[in-house]
Each structure stands twice: as structure tokens, then as C-alpha cells.
Amino acid sequence: MFLRRKSSRISWSSLLRTKTSSECCNDIFKLKSFLRIQDNIYNARDEAYIADSEFDLFKQVLQTIEKFNPNLAETYTEVGAKPSTRFAKIPHAKPMLSLDNAFNEKDVVEFVDRVRRFLMLDKDEKLDFVAEPKIDGLSLTLRYERGWLVSGATRGDGFVGEDVTSNVRTVSDIPKRLRAKALLRFAKCAAKST
């Protein structure tokens, strides 16, 4: 399988064969360049040349190469893209990071373990999950003051997002005002996370 971007080509078979350290270094450079190009196309231009699943697989191949060559490792960790110049900017109160993918049962078990540690739960305490196939969408952060929606921002680069408050106000499923019950639930969740 080959994926093309102008004159560059990346082959799965060439990435997965045994290699020297310098060949691995070259592969890491190519993969990171390819991923950055795809990120830019996706995040800055709102286009996609490859499917999300293929992008995720390329990231997984990069992580595998780096795992077996720790001296070359500098994991690809970019999230989102620079905020568009077409929108006003909103800095995030806390960094807005990306979610990890789970490709197999081991990944899910490790995720559950991390959730338990973060929430300080015992191993036998019940956790409920909802899982669904990955659906491409938009990540937003919503800010409410005294129960009223005051801003909505995209993830942007994870630290600063685009101000899409006027767009958010048109989405009927996003409450413009939080009722007392919702505020109490939010306050309990916020208290747990600090």
C-alpha cells in the first residue's frame, strides 16, 4: 500500500522490515513529516487525503519503530493545529489534549487502569463505559459563567482555540443555560478532577 503526497511515497512493507539504525532514523523522519503534512491538511485546511484510521496506523507504526529504537525516539505528539486567522482566539484555561486510540483489548485494559488510577478507584469498583466507532467531529470547550454560556472554542493547538461562540449558540443540543442540577453535577466533576 502506498500513500502519495506530491512526490513522497510511504510503503507499509518498507516500514515493517528489519532495518539499520540509520534506516530507522530515516523512516522516523519520513513518518513525522508525512504526519505533519496530513495534520496541516486536516486541521488548517479542513480537508483529508487519508482516512483517520490510516493516520492512526501511521502513528502506531511510528511509535513501534521508536519503541524498538529508544535512542531515536521523540514521539510525535502534536495535537490540532494553529488556530485559524479567520476567527478570534480564546486561550484555554487548561490544555485541551487529544484522546488516545484503542486498537485491541490490551489497549482498552490499559486505558481502564489509567482511568482507575486517575479517579483513585479500587480495582473492583464498577466503571460504566459507552464505546462506539470513531466518528470524525469537532472538539469544543464550552465556558459557562453563573450558569450562562459565555464562550465556545475549538481545540486549536491545544492551548489556544478559535472563538466559535456564535456558531455554538445555533446548536440546539448545547444548553445556553445550565440548570441547578446540571451545575451541581458539573461542580462535583470539577472537584474530583482537581
Least confident of 129-133, 146-150, 185-189: 185-189
Q: Residue 81: what pLDDT?
A: 55
Q: Residue 188: what pLDDT?
A: 55
Same fold across 2-72 and 89-193: no
Is residue 41 within 8 Å of 47, Cβ to Cβ? Answer: yes
Q: pLDDT tens for residues 37-48?
A: 887 777 666 677
d(CA 54, CA 3): 10
Which amino acid appears at position 134 of this protein?
K
Domain ranges of the chain: 2-72, 89-193
d(CA 102, CA 110): 9
- Residue 134 is among the residues annotated as catalytic for this protein: yes
DSSP state of 97: P
The topology under which CATH files domain 2-72 is: Helix Hairpins (1.10.287)
Contacts of 93 (CB under 8 A, 6+ apart): 143
N-to-C CA span, the chain: 46
Q: pLDDT tens for residues 87-107?
A: 889 998 888 877 667 778 888
Q: pLDDT tens for residues 147-184?
A: 889 999 988 888 888 899 988 888 888 888 887 765 66
Q: Residue 35: what pLDDT?
A: 86
DSSP state of 1: -
Label residue 129 by pLDDT band (50, 70, 90).
confident
Which residue in 175, 156, 174 sits closest to 87, CA to CA? 156
CATH superfamily of 89-193: DNA ligase/mRNA capping enzyme (3.30.470.30)
d(CA 142, CA 189): 15
Task: Find the catalytic residue in 82, 89, 134, 176.
Answer: 134
Mean pLDDT taken over the chain: 75
Is residue 139 within 8 Å of 155, Cβ to Cβ? Answer: yes
Label residue 134 by pLDDT band (50, 70, 90).
low
